[in-house]
Amino acid sequence: MVPDRDACLAAVASRDARFDGTFFTGVTSTGIYCRPSCPARTPAPANMTFHPSAAAAQAAGFRACKRCRPDAVPGSPEWDVRADTTARAMRLIVDGIVDREGVDGLATRLGYSVRQVQRLTLDELGATPLSLARAQRAHTARVLLQTTDLPLAEVAFAAGFGSIRSFNDTVQQVYATTPSGLRGDRRRPRAEAPGRLLEISLRLAFRRPFEPGNVFGHLAATAVPGVEEWRDGAYRRTLRLPHGAGFVALAPRPDHVAATLHLADPRDLTPAIGRCRRLLDLDADPVAVDAALATDPALAPLVEATPGRRVPRTVDPHEFALRAVLGQQVSTAAARTHAARLVARHGDPVTDPVGGLTHLFPTPEALVDPDPAALAMPASRVRTLTGLAAALASGAVDLSPGTDRDAARAGLAALPGIGPWTVEVVAMRSLGDPDAYPASDLGVRKGCAALGIDPDAGPQRWRPWRAYATQHLWAAVPHPINHLPLEAP
């Protein structure tokens, strides 16, 4: 996981932000650990050690640098590129599974024993699943301490700690201060009254370059009324979270994405952040992707013109899979209309603190036997939708963050009415597969035609980044998904 020592030393010497989150630098003379791009004085090489994760640096006795905040860096891009068990485990840990179900629950979802999972993460990340989750809890606690005035005990349990003592000990070890000291005297927004939504504002980091046009444009152009909207320069949507409903507003900025969350339960902060990062593909390595795609003469001019394109994904894999079926062989506008009918009839109502969002998208269970009045579509597509809903509800098809992508693809393809286009689009956006490629997609075909590319043979040279190549192909023809909206759609 960690590059060789010479590469690490060079990255630290040049303060190369591309390596932030890929490895962490422990400084033996000060006892702190930093991101490679830390602006502080570069330590002597003899005083530097390198670690594959923040949890590994913490386990080695280092505390987080207060200047560069290494706990807030983008996650390693490895976990989306790879599909092995360690990558699946990391995607589940980021989603908060260890906090909710423990290491036993993580191992059960992966189909391995606890000992095997611990060995895998120790070998590759230098830390056990519990240590990795603990590092994540520490970051969540810092965000809550510095952005809300929740009582310390509530912060501890909202961040996932099992006791006040473990909360205090972890904050002291990771940040070399007490929770009260970490909170400081800065002014913070007040927590809402009991029963009201808690508002939290934070910055989501990304690796540069970042082209927001296609990812935000796609989300806004395909937004389902009542569930999503573009308002005041931000993409807003409802969130179905483990402990209740939530809302998020995401707005692109030159050096970060501004996120404002409204949560019914502060324990949902960790999964909400992880799902928003996944939605916008913020942990990608755009330099590596662009360098690979630019070797194709047909794509090189597009990559040079708009470097840093991301793949728009989803906050709810089941939701997107169901929406993909609604979008089979129809326009973007028609797919939105079909989805809006389902939302109005079968979605769970919510009260938006800002206004405009009215429902959570229906669960698969709610669409196993839907109201026919909400399904103004061909009978064959209704059967496909209800068949997929039943498979998702029963667990016969698993699209969760830790699923085996090949098994998920096979499960989808076995369902009546699910063809290659649906499988690949779901793999791209629900499963986060960077090599998913919907070859039969009309936009892909038009983009290939405009660039003189064989849509079936040519893309083999884009592996393993065909999902990113797809974004450039879609951008080769005019469509609202390719740019930031000027006003609400």
- Enumerate the active-site residues: 34, 441
The 3-class SS string of 49-115 reads EEECCHHHHHHCCCEECCCCCHHHCCCCCHHHHCCCHHHHHHHHHHCCHHHHHHHHHHHHHHCCCHH
At which residue do the structure tokens 């590469």 appear?
7
Calculate ∠ Cα 280-231-282, nearest 5°. 10
The whole-angstrom separation of Cα 91 and Cα 430 is 13
478 burial (CB, 10 Å; 0-12 / 13-18 / 19+) is exposed
CA 94 to chain centre: 9
The whole-angstrom separation of Cα 14 and Cα 130 is 33
Report how far apart, in Å, the C-alpha atoms of 120 and of each of 50, 89, 90, 129, 224 are.
Answer: 19, 9, 11, 9, 40
What single letter denotes the amino acid at residue 97?
I
Q: Which residues contact 355 (CB under 8 A, 6 or more apart)?
A: none
The SS3 assignment for 179 reads: helix
The whole-angstrom separation of Cα 423 and Cα 201 is 35
Specify whether the CB–CB gap between 384 and 417 falls below 8 A.
yes
Q: Which residues contact 212 (CB under 8 A, 6 or more apart)?
A: 252, 257, 484
Residue 99, Cβ neighbours under 10 Å: how many? 22
Token pair of 307 as six digits: 């470097």
In total, the chain counts a number of residues equal to 489
The whole-angstrom separation of Cα 68 and Cα 238 is 32
Specify whether the CB–CB gap between 54 and 20 falls below 8 A.
no
Alpha-carbon dihedral of residues 159, 160, 164, 170, nearest 10 degrees?
-80
